[in-house]
Structure 1
């Protein structure tokens, strides 16, 4: 049995994951803004520092895995874009930076990390690249300056940017010596519309409900948190030892609906030099 940290453990998909791991006999250290083993506000630097430190204290410096499920969705409010950027991006990367040594201490190939992304990464159009780049640079004020010009749509684009940025961070970091080289498997899961408290709140508003129900989900309906929890537990298991840097879409087919021909694709000639350079980098590291 292992020790796992789960953020967003008090509700929704995070709660489902925490319950599933606990039922399987693992030790779960839940992190949330309330009703958790570690209570911390991930929208603040102090809250993130507290969460990182207290989890390590409770785990005794060794983690077998982590699930970063805490997140905020689009909603009205002047400060919403900032909260989304802080929680959805910095609330993932800063905690994983702090926990990486404890994950490496679990032993080569044993530690697994699952980050919650979203199918909004590929289904929300016009997400500004500048905002994504700013988040990857961990420069939230710069990201917000880009997003502010979108007015009331800013939180929607902030959400998309935060999930694109965190997915790209996972892809970049997963294959490095610090992660793959240390025996840690880092991957992301990209859910679609899942019946969480956030979705139920949106469905309670007629305008929002109409928009959500008209969104393409080829198999129909909404996902269940328990289904996502089963996927996450699989991604934390020994069966996922060869899974590295993947973003797994569990969204009823929405991503495939929008970009059936976009992925996978062959390396285009204009990127051949970059491809060959990456090959050289890999050989040099061996």
Structure 2
């Protein structure tokens, strides 16, 4: 049996994943702000350092995989953009960078990061905020979002999910990850029935907006079914899965961008790709 770290394991999809892994006989080191084996506040650098260290101690320096399900949605609040940024992006990147040696010590470790279909379905996401995330510059992110006022949490959420998806894609194929045998991928759910969505549906204005959103097959996702996908992405059957962002959203992403993906490699960028390939092989 294997040892997995699961963040956001106290509720929603994170809890469903942790439950399934435990039922299958695996050891789960669950991380959350409440009711967890490792209790930590991922919205602070100190909390992230504490979580990273304690998980490594409990795993004895070896992790067979990790599931990064902790996240905050776009609720109102002046400080909400900062909290979203800290948890949704830095709460993934900081922990995974700290855990990378433990993942490399395992045989064919698998990591699944929770992205979102908001990364492709929210319009006018500020590119400067996305670049701020990827540069590790929280203040740049917050300065970019400030002019959006009450809409700042929505754009903070979408930008964090765009950025973490790109981080996964960029990082997964590097020598330190793919070259070390670690499979790093992301799952991008749509609207899934969790306590967060229940709370949004209980608010008339938010419920109206959610119900108007196009979901071609209708309805909402089920947390246990999303957990099935994650468990598959952690399995031996996913050995050839690397750097993928898997959309499980009832067709919303396809509805918005049926012709936007896939696209062939632009000829002007081919030299850059070949250079990266040679660097990886070295």
TM range (shorter): over 0.9
Aligned pair partner of 1:171 in 146, 169, 172: 169
- Mapped pair 1:47 → 2:71: no
* Equivalent in the alignment of 1:207: 205
Note the aligned Cα RMSD (angstroms).
Answer: 1.0
2:36 aligned counterpart, secondary structure = coil
Q: Deviations over 1:94-138 (max 9, x none)?
A: 00011000011112xx20000000000000000001000011111
Quote the Cα distance in structure 1 between the aligned partners of 2:105 and 2:276. 28
Which digits, 9 at most, give the CA deviation of each residue in 1:125-159, with x for residues without a partner? 00001000011111111100000011110000000
- The Cα of 1:276 is off from its aligned counterpart by 4.0
Deviation at 1:271, TM superposition (A): 3.0
1:233 equivalent to 2:251? Answer no
Residue aligned with 2:193, SS: coil
Distance in 1 (CA, whole Å) between partners of 2:6 and 2:275 is 37
- Which residue is equivalent to 1:142? 140
Whole-Å Cα distance in 2 between the matches of residues 101 and 270 of structure 1?
A: 36
In 2: Cα distance, 1:114 partner to 1:172 partner: 15
Q: Which residue does the alignment assign to 2:257?
A: 259
Aligned to 2:19: 19
Q: Secondary structure at the match of 2:221?
A: coil
1:105 to 1:280, Cα distance in 2 relative to 1, 3 A: closer
Q: CA deviation at 1:244?
A: 0.3
Q: How does 1:27-46 map to 2 (within 5 A)?
A: 27-46=27-46
Q: Following the alignment from structure 1 to structure 2, what is the Cα–Cα distance between the partners of residues 180 and 265?
A: 23
Secondary structure of 1:131's aligned partner: helix
Give, in angstroms, the shift of residue 266 of structure 1: 1.7
For 1:79, the equivalent position in structure 2 comes to 79
SS in 2 for 1:84: helix
Give, in angstroms, the shift of residue 277 of structure 1. Answer: 3.6
Say which is worse superposed, 223-232 or 268-277, in terms of deviation. Answer: 268-277
Give the structure 1 partner of residue 272 of structure 2: 274
SS of equivalent to 2:150: helix
CA deviations over 1:167-200 (Å, ceiling 9, x no partner): 1110011001100011100000000000010000
| Paired residue total | 282
Aligned counterparts of 2:274 and 2:178: Cα–Cα separation in 1 = 21
SS at the partner of 1:5?
strand
Query: Could you tell me which residue of structure 1 aligns to residue 157 of structure 2?
Result: 159
Structure 2 distance, partners of 1:202, 1:254, is: 19
Distance 1:279 1:175 in 2: 10
**Which whole-Å CA distance do the structure 2 matches of 1:269 and 1:25 have between them?**
49
Instruction: Please give the alpha-carbon distance, in whole angstroms, between the structure 2 residues aligned to 1:208 and 1:130.
Output: 27
| Aligned mates of 1:102, 1:269 — CA distance in 2 | 38
Alpha-carbon shift at residue 229 of structure 1 (Å): 0.2
TM-score (norm 1): 0.96
Q: Any idea what the Cα deviations from partners look like across 1:198-230, whole Å, max 9, x if unmatched?
A: 000000011111110110000000000001100
Q: What residue number does 1:61 align with?
A: 61
Structure 1: give runs of 5+ residues left out of the alignment: none
Q: Which blocks of at least 5 consecutive residues in structure 2 are unaligned?
A: none
Q: In 2, Cα distance between the equivalents of 1:199 and 1:211? A: 12
